[in-house]
Amino acid sequence: MTHETSFWSLIVNASLIVQLIMLVLALISLSSWWVIVKKQLVVTAARRAGDQFEDDFWSGIDLASLYARINRQKEPVWGMDAIFLAGFQEFLRLRAQPTMDPESVVSGAQRAMHAAGSRELDELEMYLPLLATAGSTSPYIGLFGTVWGIMNAFMALGTTQQATLAQVAPGIAEALIATAMGLFAAIPAVIFYNRYAHDVDRLANRYETFMEEFSNILQRQSYSLRKSHVDAAARAAAAQG
């Protein structure tokens, strides 16, 4: 009998409770790996999109031209593009109102950017709690299967007159398989949860830094526009005088 055959025979011959526990752990492990692959794709795409946007933003392009280009995109806008789009759109809307002062215009744009940033972070953090739950609960689920398997092994010994290692080994082995499966499900979940949580925090800091820098640019533009309006009004009043 090969080692692989012995391993599968222990699973097949395990008690129903232990088999159900192994099935639950297998489903948890598959779900965790699905989240791991999905988040890797999302985080990588978010970093690349951020790099591309920052290259365009700091290239000296006119903000109105950048806004129009992003607004014309057919694919969904996300990441820094979505934050910029929300902030500049609100800035243009408020600036068009003659009664709005520069502080209120910039403050409204900041609120719009923070709301868009929160939505982007919610998207990045989606499914991460599943990894945290899998990492924290899987060892205990496996431990429950271990306890149940050992309990059945000792109960089976009570029905025999002479206990031997051959009689005890299968029950203990099936119990330890449950523990191993629990660790197999938990360890990758914990490792990748910590990694992706760190990546999301870095992206959050990056978004926050961009919002502060963009707010400063909008503030300068707002005050510059106000000064030009005041100068124009002064010239008009002088001409009428």
Residue 240: pLDDT above 50?
yes
Q: 109 near 216, Cβ under 8 Å?
A: no
Q: Are 112 and 86 in contact (CB under 8 A)?
A: yes
Average pLDDT over residues 155-170: 64
Nearest to 206 by CA among 62, 51, 88, 82: 51
* Statement: residue 192 has pLDDT above 90: yes
Q: Give this prediction's pTM.
A: 0.80
156-182 burial, b for 16+ CB within 10 Å, e for fewer?
Answer: eeeeeeeeeeeeeebbebbbbbbbebb
Quick check: 48 and 211 in contact, CB under 8 A? no
Mean pLDDT, rounded, for 177-193: 92
36 pLDDT band, cuts 50/70/90, is very high
The answer to whether the CB of 186 falls within 8 A of the CB of 135 is yes
Q: Which of 228 and 123 is assigned the larger pLDDT? A: 123
Q: Where are the domains of the chain?
A: 25-145+185-240
**From 35-39, 200-204, 231-235, the region with the lowest mean pLDDT:** 231-235
Write out pLDDT tens, residues 93-145: 888 887 778 788 889 999 999 999 999 999 999 999 999 999 999 999 999 88
Residue with the bigger pLDDT between 175 and 216: it is 216
pLDDT at residue 96, rounded to an integer: 82
